[in-house]
Structure 1
Amino acid sequence: MSGRKIIDVIVNPAAGSRNGGLFDAVVQQLHDEGAVVRCFETEGAGHATELAARCAQEAYADVIVAAGGDGTINEVARGLLGSPTPLGVLPLGTANVLAVELGQKLRARSVADTLLHGDAKLIGTGLVNGEMFLLMVGAGFDGAVVSAIQPSMKRRLGKLAFVFEGLKTWLKGPRYPISVEIDGMVDEAAWVVVTNARHYAGPFVLAPTADIADPHLQAFIFQKHSRLAFAGYFLGLALGHVARMPGVHVSRFQELDLSSAGPVPVEVDGDAFQNLPLTISQGTQFLRLVVPQA
């Protein structure tokens, strides 16, 4: 067999009910190709980071794989910062934004081929209150949606859970006034999304010029406070035209501070985070990520 021979897999046992058998099929494909596969199940929040750091310190595996959604991938990535061992992805989540970003097909043969033979490329990261993120930070609308979804609801409804809670949050109306300070310039917003990637919430293109391998973050500042305005934002996102819409300010930055008079919910890489205030900046460390073959 050519390619990687020893593969450690850190798996979130609750993720997408292991995505209709994708996890077992990928592991079987890896075994069939002659790879030695060790699987470690997470037991709670933060455990994936501990497992990844431990595996990286052992320096036994050729690749350490995050098997789960974008939140699990984030945790494993945190444990691999500064390590020469690359991160692999076995997408088992609801939105699988990173998999979409990489062009990874959700088929066992394709995922296994990537883990065995894909190139390991350096990618940029971001920092939110000193903690690493790979894809995005959302303050306001999407923070409220993610915070409202219980794990049991996500397992039962999948993507429909986000649609259901998104509709409920929209009907309540925008209610999160946010103060934004970008590199010393102050602005006001109803919703803020900071992204390291092109895609958002799965297949939707938010930032057409973004590149996860390019160490630049973009802030999308949605300024209008009304249900009608937010309906327009959602339509623009579906069409890939958000950056050109009135009431949307897009900026690259070195440091961004978000604050508010009241509690504003936040999501980071698809998982609920602490409320505002936040300080967001470009990450100081790169990560080696295994990507599909061209």
Structure 2
Amino acid sequence: MSAPVLANPAPLFVVFNPKSGRGTWPDTQEALRSACRQAGRPLHLLPLPRHQPLEPVIARAVQGALGEGGIVVAAGGDGTINAVAHQAVARGCAFGVLPQGTFNYFSRAHGLSASPQEAVAHLLQGRPEPVQVGLVNERTFLVNASMGFYARLLQDRESYKARYGRSRGVALLAALFTLMRGFRTWELQARWAGRTETLRTPTLFVGNNPLQFEQVGVEQGEAVEQGELAAIALEPLSRAAMLGLLVQAGLGRLDKASEVRSLSFRELEVAATQAPRGQRVRVATDGELRWMQMPLRFRVSPKPLWLVKPASLERERG
């Protein structure tokens, strides 16, 4: 697939979530308006509604960018970026990022700055480059997709953040709360590359972001840079052992844990052996929770995401 052709000057259609992460949207908006005014770049700002579907706004932005040879831009955290990227990948639209989230794994993995001024400069100077995307049951993920304990941890974390605010301390408190509630051990039949294996695990985590793997100390992230996805499945654990693994992950030492099973693939099918085919399971994609039917099919998307960035940028290292 060839790269999108941009107009000169290419207009920006910015879909933004003013509530994301650190609340830097006012500074980013000012940097955007100033830089686009100086560069003569048309700018369209489209806020995401609260408590309403996001897809119509995103579709309007993508259609506008395609019709005018422009760039659809996601301003927000990984969840907002995922929602906009899902439609950009499907339509082959040029895609830009103005990171506003707490962790910003996607933007950091591609060397995009969290500074509003630098992020806007990168957007205005860049050209579309193909970036690998993961799919789970045809839903896009840029950073990771998971089921089981990790997905429930994210659900509890969002509940705590809504009540107590966004901080790493609140995220840790939520993780401890999830751990104390206990967790289910899944029996999964996994098929990939002509192999079939039964996995007994409390969680399955599939990643498309080498930086995240580096931070927890898993070498399997190298597979992502070679055109594959990487998965982690934990052995059945007690609560105390799971707490120990969470600590090791926080210290970047998960590679030393014997309870961790990792593998890499381009396509992976996962079915629950003790549940009827078609059972629904909660899956987290880039931190956003949704219900999906089993079996889960993870694969590298045949379509890239055309990310706008200067060619000289290098990704952050863990």
- Paired residues of 1:125 and 1:215 also in contact (CA < 8 A): no
Give 1:57's aligned residue. 66
Give 1:113's aligned residue. 121
- In structure 2, C-alpha distance between the alignment counterparts of 1:206 and 1:51, rounded to whole Å: 40
- In structure 1, C-alpha distance between the alignment counterparts of 2:48 and 2:184, rounded to whole Å: 36
| Alignment partner of 1:13 is 2:18 | yes
Q: 1:187 to 1:204 in 2, by over 3 A?
A: closer
Task: Identify which range, 86-95 or 173-182, moves more after superposition.
Answer: 173-182
- In structure 2, C-alpha distance between the alignment counterparts of 1:160 and 1:280, rounded to whole Å: 32
Alignment equivalent of 2:89, drawn from 81, 84, 96: 81
Give 1:274's aligned residue. 291
Give 1:185's aligned residue. 197
TM-score (norm 1): 0.85
Poorly superposed stretches of 4+, deviation over 4 Å = 201-208, 211-214, 260-264
Question: How far is the alpha carbon of 1:4 from its aligned partner?
Answer: 5.6
Alignment equivalent of 1:238, drawn from 230, 240, 250: 250
Question: What whole-Å deviation, never above 9, does each CA across 1:85-124 have from its counterpart, x for those lacking one?
Answer: 3211111123221122123221122101110113432111
1:15 maps to a residue whose letter is S
Give 2:79's aligned residue. 71
Give 1:131's aligned residue. 139
Superposition RMSD in Å: 3.0
- In structure 2, C-alpha distance between the alignment counterparts of 1:201 and 1:29, rounded to whole Å: 37
Question: How far is the alpha carbon of 1:156 from its aligned partner?
Answer: 2.7
| Alignment partner of 1:286 is 2:296 | no
Give 1:257's aligned residue. 270
Question: What whole-Å deviation, never above 9, does each CA across 1:233-291 have from its counterpart, x for those lacking one?
Answer: 22332233324420111111222314365975321111112166322222121111123
TM-score (norm 2): 0.79
- In structure 1, C-alpha distance between the alignment counterparts of 2:219 and 2:307, rounded to whole Å: 21
Give 1:24's aligned residue. 29
Q: 1:28 to 1:57 in 2, by over 3 A?
A: closer
Give 2:174's aligned residue. 165
- In structure 1, C-alpha distance between the alignment counterparts of 2:162 and 2:91, rounded to whole Å: 35
- Paired residues of 2:66 and 2:93 also in contact (CA < 8 A): no
- In structure 2, C-alpha distance between the alignment counterparts of 1:201 and 1:15, rounded to whole Å: 24
- In structure 2, C-alpha distance between the alignment counterparts of 1:8 and 1:49, rounded to whole Å: 9
SS at 2:165 equivalent: helix
1:166 maps to a residue whose letter is A
Give 1:221's aligned residue. 233
Bigger CA radius of gyration: 2
1:26 maps to a residue whose letter is A
Give 1:33's aligned residue. 38
Alignment equivalent of 2:108, drawn from 100, 110, 128: 100
- Paired residues of 2:131 and 2:305 also in contact (CA < 8 A): yes
Question: What whole-Å deviation, never above 9, does each CA across 1:1-42 have from its counterpart, x for those lacking one?
Answer: xx9642110112332374363432432342353232111112
- Paired residues of 2:191 and 2:268 also in contact (CA < 8 A): yes
Task: Identify which range, 174-183 or 266-275, moves more after superposition.
Answer: 174-183
2:236 maps to a residue whose letter is K
Q: 1:266 to 1:84 in 2, by over 3 A?
A: closer
- Paired residues of 2:46 and 2:61 also in contact (CA < 8 A): no
Question: How far is the alpha carbon of 1:167 from its aligned partner?
Answer: 1.5
- Paired residues of 1:9 and 1:40 also in contact (CA < 8 A): yes
Q: 1:258 to 1:89 in 2, by over 3 A?
A: farther
- Paired residues of 1:180 and 1:189 also in contact (CA < 8 A): no
Q: 1:21 to 1:99 in 2, by over 3 A?
A: same
- In structure 2, C-alpha distance between the alignment counterparts of 1:151 and 1:29, rounded to whole Å: 37
SS at 2:297 equivalent: strand
1:240 maps to a residue whose letter is G
Q: 1:9 to 1:207 in 2, by over 3 A?
A: farther
Give 1:175's aligned residue. 184
Task: Identify which range, 221-230 or 70-79, moves more after superposition.
Answer: 221-230
Question: How far is the alpha carbon of 1:171 from its aligned partner?
Answer: 1.9
1:40 maps to a residue whose letter is L
- Paired residues of 1:26 and 1:111 also in contact (CA < 8 A): no
Q: 1:267 to 1:7 in 2, by over 3 A?
A: same
Question: How far is the alpha carbon of 1:200 from its aligned partner?
Answer: 3.4
